[in-house]
Amino acid sequence: MNVSMPATIENPEKKTQPDKDMTAAVVSVDNVCKSFGNMKVLDGVSLSISHGETLAVLGRSGTGKSVLLRLIIGLVNPDSGSISVNGNNFAGLALDQLGEIRKKMGFLFQQSALYDSLSIAENVAFPLEHHRSSMSKAEHDERVKQLLDEVGMNGDSTKMPSEISGGMKKRVGLARALALEPEILLLDEPTAGLDPISSDEIDDLVLKLQRERKMASIIVTHDLHSARKISNRIALLNKGKVVIEGSFDNLQQSEIAFVKEFLRLS
Ligand SMILES: Nc1ncnc2c1ncn2[C@@H]1O[C@H](COP(=O)(O)OP(=O)(O)OP(=O)(O)O)[C@@H](O)[C@H]1O
Ligand SMILES: [Mg+2]
């Protein structure tokens, strides 16, 4: 069953609410379907987010959450339906236009995806070197230092990815995602595999970044507690569809069997 909720339902507990004058959709996913071979992964998914808003996408393993994020950054094309960023429909864009839009997005991959042969500082500098070539080396270094400070990793800037923990990799991945000052932040399982204290620290970091930068964020997670803490809205995916979208309270009040079961087991 597919329950549509108004896109404006928000969690009243959240301190960070979208600015009233910035409610236009930044990312809009409209009736998107995606199959791999015979397997239909997404079956008519529609979602949208505005400036300053954080949407948490929850769902069981293999339900298409990472595929959804990859569609939103244009790494995968939908079979049908459309994806727009700031009103630009991906379908009509040339590669260089898509590249321009992608620069507005910061992306943290599920496995952090740091470059093994580059130090922590070099990983964070990478997007700057490729997309901010007008900045001097000293400006890059200063910016990397600020970013690593922001995620609490400045003391480790000369280490290699193999020398740091999973939680530290997530922090560095987050710093790299923020390097080009994105309008849109997409995080794929930022707390997966971390102990509860490290998870909570990452959640606090994400909340701090939202307060300071007012990005539109989509955060994929298995963790209901984390989703409740850091998002304005939650979308729960199952079998390729959005089963419910709304505040945590909306989920708790739902009579949908899958929602009840998901909450019971979370
Ligand atoms: N490039 C691809 N080619 C073929 N199948 C794919 C591809 N990408 C994803 N899939 C399949 O699509 C389904 C959804 O994958 P996805 O990675 O989005 O799941 P997920 O919800 O992110 O799961 P998890 O919570 O475990 O990360 C899986 O069955 C996966 O095997
Ligand atoms: Mg995934």
DSSP per-residue string spanning 106-118? EEE-TT----TTS
CB of 65 shorter than 6 A to ligand 1: yes
Categorize the per-residue pLDDT at 29 as very low, low, confident or very high, splitting at 50, 70 and 90: very high
Confidence of residue 13 (pLDDT cuts 50, 70, 90): very low
**pLDDT surpasses 50 at 2:** no
Of the listed ranges 54-63, 118-127, 179-188, 189-198, the least confidently predicted one is: 189-198
**The pLDDT of residue 18 is above 80:** no
Q: Over pLDDT 90: what percentage of the chain?
A: 63
Ligand 1 atom nearest to 68, measured from its CA = 18
pLDDT, one tens digit per residue, over 147-174 is 999 888 888 999 999 999 888 999 999 9
Residue 194: its pLDDT value, please?
A: 82
Considering only CA atoms, which of 261, 265, 229 is closest in space to residue 247?
229
Q: Rounded to whole angstroms, how far apart are CA atoms 3 and 264? A: 19
Q: At residue 133, does pLDDT exceed 80?
A: yes
How much distance in Å is there from the Cα of 238 to the middle of ligand 1?
A: 13
Q: Between 34 and 90, name the one with better pLDDT.
A: 34
Judge if the beta carbon of residue 193 lies within 6 A of ligand 1: no
Asked whether the CA dihedral 36, 42, 44, 45 is positive or negative, the reply is negative
The C-alpha atoms of residue 101 and residue 122 are separated, in whole angstroms, by 24
d(CA 126, CA 131): 9
* Closest-CA residue to 189 (of 162, 160, 166): 166
At residue 22 the predicted structure's pLDDT band, cuts being 50, 70 and 90, is low
Domains present along the chain, CATH in parentheses? 1-11+22-104+218-266 (3.40.50.300)
Q: What phi-psi label fits residue 118: left (phi over 0), alpha (psi between -120 and 50 degrees) or beta?
A: beta
Whole-number mean pLDDT of the chain? 88
pLDDT of 179: 94
CA of 61 to the centre of ligand 2 (A): 7
What pLDDT, on the 0 to 100 scale, is given for residue 116?
Answer: 93
- HSE at residue 108, side-chain half, CA atoms within 13 A, is 29
Q: Is the pLDDT of residue 15 over 60?
A: no
Residue 23 has pLDDT above 80, yes or no: no
| Residue whose CA lies nearest to ligand 1 atom number 13 | 62
Q: Are 1 and 255 in contact (CB under 8 A)?
A: no
pLDDT of the residue at 213: 86
8 Å CB contact between 184 and 105? yes
Name the pLDDT band for 193 (thresholds 50, 70, 90). confident
Ligand nearest to the backbone CA of 237: 1
Bridge partners of residue 88, in order along the sequence: 85
Around ion ligand 2, residues with a beta carbon closer than 5 Å are: 66, 110
**Ligand 1 mean position to 222 CA, how many Å?**
14
Residue owning tokens 């899958």: 258
Classify residue 21 by its DSSP letter: G
Angstrom distance (rounded) from CA 152 to CA 183: 22
| More reliable by pLDDT, 110 or 232 | 232
Which of 12-21, 155-164, 195-204 is least confident?
Answer: 12-21
No. of helices (H) and no. of strands (E), the chain: 9, 10
Q: What one-character-per-residue DSSP string does 145-165 give? A: HHHHHHTT-GGGTTS-GGGS-
Residue to probe by mutation, ligand 1, list 29, 33, 43, 66, most atoms within 8 Å of CB: 66
The CA 41 to ligand 1 mean position distance, Å, reads 8
Q: Report whether pLDDT(1) > 80.
A: no
Within the chain, what is the greatest distance between any pair of CA atoms? Answer: 57
Give the number of the ligand closest to the Cα of residue 67: 1
Instruction: Name which residue sits closest to atom 26 of ligand 1, judged by CA.
Output: 61
Nearest ligand to the C-alpha of residue 71? 1
At residue 144, the pLDDT reads 96
DSSP-based three-state secondary structure for 93: coil
Report the pLDDT value the prediction gives residue 161, as an integer from 0 to 100: 95
Q: Contact 173/114 with Cβ under 8 angstroms?
A: yes
User: In this prediction, what percent of the chain has a pLDDT beyond 70?
Assistant: 91
Angle of helix 137-150 versus helix 120-131 axis, rounded to 10: 130
Order of strands, edge to edge, in the sheet holding 80-85? 39-50, 25-36, 80-85, 88-89
**Band of pLDDT at residue 78, cut at 50, 70 and 90:** very high
pTM of the model: 0.88
Q: Is 23 helix (H, G, I), strand (E, B) or coil?
A: coil
To test the ligand 1 pocket, which listed residue (45, 65, 75) has its Cβ within 8 A of the most ligand atoms? 65
192 or 251, greater pLDDT: 251
Distance CA 138, CA 56 (A): 37
